[in-house]
Amino acid sequence: MIIIKVLILVDHPAQIHLYRNMIKQMEGRGHKVKIAACVKEVMLDLLDSYGLDYGVLFNNEGGPLYKKAVVAALGEVQMLRLTAGFRPDIFFSATSEIVAPAKLVFRKPHIGITDTEHASLSNAFAYPATDVILTPSSFKNDLGAKQVRFEGCKELAYLHPNHFKPDPTVLDELGLSKNDNIFMLRFAAFNAGHDVRSQKFGAKYVPELIRRLEKHGEIIISSEVPLSHSLQKYQRNLSPARYLDLMAYSSLYVGEGSSSANEAGILGVPSLHFERLSDGSKTYGATAICGIMAELQARYGLIYSFHEEEKLLAKLDEIMADLGKAKRDWMAKRERFLKDKIDVTSFMAWFLENYPASLAEVRQNPARQHSFK
């Protein structure tokens, strides 16, 4: 086996979960892996918690698009410096344009992975400097000759049973038990480049959402934005690395975060997602443009995504009418989903370790990916 060096660009905390099991596998086989971090939210806490080797490029906390462009340009310079020091054999990213200059200067392949069809601006910059683009089979867009579809999704890289077993001590940490109904709510900032058309859950509906849930269990809110005084009591001091452990023991997820909604559904937790998108003439929901969410809803019934608050609340009432049955139904749907999908972590590790032979193999025999179960 040839030992390789991989430089991974990370520009969102969720991507740490995407890569961390793959990094562990590859390092266990002797490969060298380093992360180039565009710092956002709890990213450094997660990197340190998992003991990952990283270098910081810049702070990625959002702002106007022109500001993001300036910061990204500075990040490209830092990426060149980090590349010069590490000397990778291959780049890996969520199709980030920040890799482009380093890829061109050092003439190394860049493998991208994406599930975000509507990130049109960053995609336009990133795709030309990406050699292969891995996408879920549910991805709505045809990206041409560079695209390789896999039977899975990003969330399976860290939630597949081969890699994730929830730690029950998270309940002790919060004074809860497995018998408690835990309702997780999440409010998103919607400040990513592809969030420019997104609208939040209407503030006037939040008290009604709380009222419907509070009498049935424990509400825990995770928020990217400051909360009103009346909602702050639902926040808990929880390490970001423990978020998924808690979610696995939850009875329901309601929130604006699409990744969290997908995670909940894949864990077998009833999941209600809200996001209202607008093109100026009409409003619509995330499933119209997001293939993995559309598949999780239409094919598996693991999430329900809404862009009208009243319809979300009506679905919530339907679930709460027999929460026990809903939880059992979701676990059965989860098993069907897992039976159809692959171990995404093992597939990614194999693809990088054996590139470009892996690309030729999967082109010739797409079913090769199903050996990773």
Indicate if the pLDDT at residue 26 is higher than 70.
yes
Indicate if the pLDDT at residue 305 is higher than 60.
yes
DSSP string spanning 86-135?
H--SEEEESS-GGGHHHHHHHT--EEEE---TT-HHHHHHHGGG-SEEEE
Q: Answer whether 358's CB lies under 8 Å from 351's CB.
A: yes
Indicate if the pLDDT at residue 121 is higher than 90.
no
Indicate if the pLDDT at residue 126 is higher than 90.
no
Indicate if the pLDDT at residue 190 is higher than 80.
no
Q: What is the pLDDT of residue 195?
A: 47
Average pLDDT of every residue of the chain = 92
pLDDT-above-70 percentage for the chain: 94
Q: Which of 55-64, 115-124, 251-260, 331-340 has the lowest mean pLDDT?
A: 55-64
Instruction: Grade residue 196 by pLDDT with cuts at 50, 70 and 90.
Output: very low
Indicate if the pLDDT at residue 290 is higher than 90.
yes
173, two tokens: 């940490």
Q: What is the pLDDT of residue 59?
A: 74
Q: How far is CA 6 from CA 2, 27, 239, 353, 358, in A?
A: 13, 10, 28, 9, 16
Nearest to 276 by CA among 312, 308, 316, 311: 308
Q: How many Cβ atoms are within 10 Å of 174's Cβ, its own excluded?
A: 18
Mean pLDDT of 281-308: 94
- Compare 270 and 13 and report the one with higher pLDDT: 270
Indicate if the pLDDT at residue 212 is higher than 90.
yes
Side-chain-side CA neighbours of 155 within 13 Å: the count stands at 18
Nearest to 154 by CA among 58, 19, 314: 19
Mean pLDDT of 58-75: 67
320, two tokens: 């709460």
Strand partners, 113: 134
Q: Which of 18-32, 225-239, 309-323, 353-367 has the lowest mean pLDDT?
A: 225-239
* Dihedral class, residue 342 (left if φ above 0, else alpha if ψ from -120 to 50, else beta): beta
- Compare 96 and 92 and report the one with higher pLDDT: 92
| pTM for this predicted structure | 0.90
Q: What is the pLDDT of residue 63?
A: 55
Q: What is the pLDDT of residue 125?
A: 74
Helix (H, G, I), strand (E, B) or coil at 57: strand
Nearest to 184 by CA among 82, 257, 122, 85: 257
Q: How far is CA 318 from CA 41, 315, 321, in A?
A: 34, 5, 5
Side-chain-side CA neighbours of 91 within 13 Å: the count stands at 33
Q: What is the pLDDT of residue 75?
A: 85
Q: How many Cβ atoms are within 10 Å of 211's Cβ, its own excluded?
A: 9
Nearest to 267 by CA among 205, 330, 322: 330
Indicate if the pLDDT at residue 192 is higher than 80.
no
The amino acid that residue 269 corresponds to is V
Mean pLDDT of 183-210: 78
DSSP letter, residue 238: -
Q: Answer whether 82's CB lies under 8 Å from 70's CB.
A: no
Q: How far is CA 160 from CA 30, 156, 200, in A?
A: 24, 5, 30
Instruction: Grade residue 191 by pLDDT with cuts at 50, 70 and 90.
Output: low
CATH topology of domain 5-160+343-371: Rossmann fold (3.40.50)
Q: What is the pLDDT of residue 72?
A: 74
Class of domain 169-339: alpha beta
Dump pLDDT digits (tens) for 228-279: 999 999 999 888 889 999 999 999 999 997 899 999 999 999 999 999 987 7
Dump pLDDT digits (tens) for 75-88: 899 999 999 999 99
What residue spans define the domains of the chain?
5-160+343-371, 169-339
Compute φ and ψ for 9, nearest 5 degrees: -90, 125
Q: C-alpha 148: how far from its chain's center?
A: 19
